[in-house]
Amino acid sequence: MTELSALDAQLADLLATMPDPTATTYVNDLEDGLANQFGARHAIVVSSGTAALHTALVVAGIGPGDEVLVPALSVIMSIAPIIHAGACPVFVDCNPDGTDFDYTDLTAKTSLATKAVLPVHLWGRTGDPARLGRWADEHQLLVIEDACQAQGSHTDGRFAGTHGAIGCFSMKDGKLLWCGEGGYLLTDDDAYAAAARSYRSHGLPPPPDGFPPRVAHNYRLAEPLALIAGHNLTRFDDFLNRRQRQAARLGKLLADTPGLHLPAAPSGQRWNGYSFLATVTLPQTRAFCEHLANLGVPNSVGSFRLVPADRRHELAAWAGPGCRNATAVIDRTLAVILTDRDDEHRLNGYAQIIDREARAWRPHN
C-alpha cells in the first residue's frame, strides 16, 4: 500500500466512527508524536498557532496590566494573541541583520510591568536562544517562543520552541508540518501543560491546583486534522530536508546574481529553510519584491505587503517611536515563500525570473 492510500484507509475508518463527540485518539497520538519528535515533555494540540500563543500567554498568567516584549520584525498573528490576552505588546527592534533582538533596545523597553518576552522566529531564524535565556533569567521574565515558522530549526542540537518556558507552533497549510489548520504548544512544565489542556476545552478537564478557574475557549483540534498531522509528522524529516534543499537550491542558482546577498546561519544554528532569504541591495527594494510577486515569485513583501508589526494601522495604539532596523530589514529582504509542492522546475523558474529581473532592474521615479 502506498503512503497515501494508508492515509485514505485511516480517514475512511475514522469517518465511519463519526460523529463521536468524545473521540481524542488521534489528538492524543499526535501529542505523543510531537513531544517525541521535538524532545519536549508535553505537547498540547490546539486549533491554530494563534490559539497556541493565546493559550500560552493565559496559562503563564499574563493579562491586563502586563507588558510583553515582542520584535517589531514579526507578523500580526504573533501580536494579536497578546492583545486578546488583555496585555500590552511592547515592540523591540532587531539587530541590523534582523537575526536577533537589539539587546540594548530590549533592555530599554523592559519595565516593572514586563512579564514575558516573546521572540518570533520569522522565516525560521531563531536568534541565539541561550543568550535570550540568560537575559530573561537576569530580568526574571518568561520566554514564550513563537516558533510557528521555525519547526525543525535548531541551535546546538535543540529545536526551536523548546528553549523557552513554552513554544508555540502552527500547522496551517504552508508551515513545515501542516494539516490544513492547527497548532500546538510544547513545554516541559507539567502545570502549564495541564492548564493549557483545560483552557483549550472550556475548562474540562479542570485546571491544576494554583490555576484560577476562568472562562476559556474551544481551541480543540478535530480528529480528522489530527490524523493528517500525525501522518505528516511521520514524514517530518523528509519535509525538513526538502525545505532546506529547496532554499539551498535557490541559493546556489542565485549565488552570482547582482544585488542579492545571501545570509548564512551563524555557527551552531541550523535554519529550517522556511523561506528562501536574500538581502536585496538594489534601489527601491520593495518595488522590486512586488515586481517579482507580479511575475509569479511569491514573497513576503511583494505578495503579503509585509511591514514591521509596529507600523500596522490596527496596532497604532501600541506603536512607539518606530524600530528602524526592523523597517530596513523587511524593506531589504526578499523572502521567497516555499511549499513542499515546489519542484525543481518551479524553483528553476523562480531563480530565472529573479536573476533576470535583478540584472534588468532600474529605479523608477
Among 55, 110, 149, 333, binds ligand PLP (CB under 6 A): 149
Quickly list DSSP for 123-143.
GG----HHHHHHHHHHTT-EE
Instruction: Give the integer Cα–Cα distance in Å for 80 and 327.
Output: 20
Beta carbon nearer to ligand PLP, 288 or 333: 333
Beta carbon nearer to ligand PLP, 49 or 308: 49
252 is catalytic: no
Q: Is 321 exposed, middle or buried (0-12, 13-18, 19+ CB in 10 A)?
A: exposed
C-alpha cell at 362: 532600474
Among 170, 198, 299, 333, binds ligand PLP (CB under 6 A): 170
Pairing of the two strands 275-280 and 260-261 = antiparallel
Q: Is 289 in the site for ligand PLP (CB under 6 A)?
A: no
Cα distance from N-terminal residue to C-terminal residue, the chain: 60
Catalytic pick from 109, 115, 172, 175? 175
Collect all residues with Cβ–Cβ distance below 8 Å to 215 and sequence separation of at least 6. 203
Q: Is 146 in the site for ligand PLP (CB under 6 A)?
A: yes
Q: What are phi and psi of 175, to 5 degrees?
A: -75, 165
Instruction: Give the integer Cα–Cα distance in Å for 154 and 170.
Output: 17
CB of 148 to ligand PLP, least distance (A): 3
Q: Is 287 in the site for ligand PLP (CB under 6 A)?
A: no
CB of 17 to ligand PLP, least distance (A): 26
Among 98, 164, 183, 259, binds ligand PLP (CB under 6 A): 183
Q: Which amino acid is at 195?
A: A
CB of 262 to ligand PLP, least distance (A): 22
Window of 97-105, 142-150, 224-232, 235-243 that interacts with ligand PLP by CB under 6 A: 142-150
For ligand PLP, the nearest residue by Cβ is: 49
Beta carbon nearer to ligand PLP, 85 or 282: 85
State the sign of the Cα–Cα–Cα–Cα dihedral 168, 183, 268, 327: negative
Binding mask 38-57 toward ligand PLP (x if CB under 6 A, else -) reads ----------xxx-------
CB of 22 to ligand PLP, least distance (A): 25
Q: Is 247 in the site for ligand PLP (CB under 6 A)?
A: no
Beta carbon nearer to ligand PLP, 77 or 287: 77
Instruction: Give the integer Cα–Cα distance in Å for 261 and 275.
Output: 15
Beta carbon nearer to ligand PLP, 55 or 246: 55
Q: Is 77 in the site for ligand PLP (CB under 6 A)?
A: yes
Q: Is the peptide bond preceding residue 21 cis, with omega within 30 degrees of 0?
A: no
Residues pairing with 91 in the sheet: 70
Instruction: Give the integer Cα–Cα distance in Å for 174 and 171.
Output: 8
C-alpha cell at 344: 525543481
Q: Which residues bind ligand PLP (CB under 6 A)?
A: 48-50, 75, 77-78, 120, 146, 148-149, 170, 172, 183
Residues identified as active-site:
175
